Amino acid sequence: MRKSEATGDWTSWLPWVDGPTITAASLAETLDGGQAFRWNWLGSHFEGIWSRYHIRLKPASGDRLSYSLPTSADATGVLSALGAYFALPTDFEMMTDHLPWRSDPVLAAAIKNFPGLRILRQPVGETLFCFLCSSTKQVPQIKAICEAVATRSGSACGNGTYTLPTWPQIEAAGETTLRACKLGYRAGYIHRTAQVLAAEPDFFTRLETLETDAAREQLMGLPGVGRKIADCVLLFGLGRHEAFPIDTWVQRILERAYGLAGWPSTQLQQFARAHFGPGAGYAQQYLFAAARAGKIPA
């Protein structure tokens, strides 16, 4: 997404009446902390795009949110999509209460510092693409790659922005185009995945119907998709809150804050399931946010 500096083509700020209660820190972590890669902080607000939707959000009084839309947008449609994107039907407050924070001071500290933190429910195909771009990259680099791919191969959606390309568009663009977006070796994986998905157009629809373990297995059958990427897609795209992605940050947290140094990834996964329960992925996001902010050991 290009950082739009235009003002006349946006509506005035309006309260998101049906939106969640969320602190400014938790909003920043939700939108720009490694779940999604097409949001930018523009000094006073976030501007983001997912699917074909383009919106601005900013903190308002009482930990509520205000929004602004392109003047050409269908407000009803965008707000409905925004509610789904923010997973409004999910009771994150209840999920938080069911986490073992009463007996886990590390988790309790993480939750205290990020009240209202949410797990986004992103388009599954976009989530897969973004996390295939993410290997060994930092968030700003991933965002730059996604923007470059969108500009080259996506569809214009107004105000100088472009959607991420669909998987058929990615297949048609070819590996050379992907490499020009600084994807390196990832370009091959992504293009081969696009070819697989072209042969299975119902892949994502079928994924929605599968149990989590079976869905993970299907994802890990795609070129370049290992356990971590699969779990990110499950958590941030399919809303499977039991999925527990383990990256370098999370591994360090488990090793240093929970005393699990030397444990192989399979045992770390077993610990996460047993200790954090069905909301393990949500606990992971609290821990990840708090570690990056220096609030817990990592």
For residues 177 and 137, membership in a common domain is answered with yes
CATH number for the domain including 83? 3.30.310.40
CA 280 to chain centre: 16
With beta carbons less than 8 A apart as the criterion, state whether 169 and 154 touch: yes
- pLDDT value at residue 190: 97
For residues 80 and 109, membership in a common domain is answered with no
Strands 65-68 vs 46-50: parallel, antiparallel or unpaired: unpaired
Read off the amino acid at residue 135.
S
Instruction: Establish if 277 belongs to a structural domain.
Output: yes
- pLDDT value at residue 208: 96
With beta carbons less than 8 A apart as the criterion, state whether 27 and 59 touch: yes
With beta carbons less than 8 A apart as the criterion, state whether 283 and 99 touch: yes
Range of the domain at 217: 124-236
For residues 141 and 232, membership in a common domain is answered with yes
How many structural domains are present in the chain? 3
Instruction: Establish if 155 belongs to a structural domain.
Output: yes
pTM: 0.95
For residues 175 and 152, membership in a common domain is answered with yes
Quick count: other Cβ atoms within 10 Å of Cβ 204? 19
pLDDT tens, N- to C-terminus, the chain (298 residues): 444 444 459 999 999 999 999 999 999 999 999 999 999 999 999 999 999 999 999 999 999 999 999 999 999 999 999 999 999 999 999 999 999 999 999 999 999 999 999 999 999 999 999 999 998 789 999 999 999 999 999 999 877 899 999 999 999 999 999 999 999 999 999 999 999 999 999 999 999 999 999 999 999 999 999 999 999 999 999 999 999 999 999 999 999 999 999 999 999 999 999 999 999 999 999 999 999 999 998 8
CATH number for the domain including 212? 1.10.340.30
Read off the amino acid at residue 293.
A
Contacts 24+ apart (CB under 8 A), 16-19: 16/57, 16/64, 16/65, 16/66, 16/67, 16/79, 16/82, 18/79, 18/83, 18/88, 19/64, 19/65, 19/67, 19/82, 19/83, 19/86, 19/88
Distance CA 129, CA 239 (A): 17
- pLDDT value at residue 113: 97
For residues 132 and 229, membership in a common domain is answered with yes
Instruction: Establish if 119 belongs to a structural domain.
Output: no
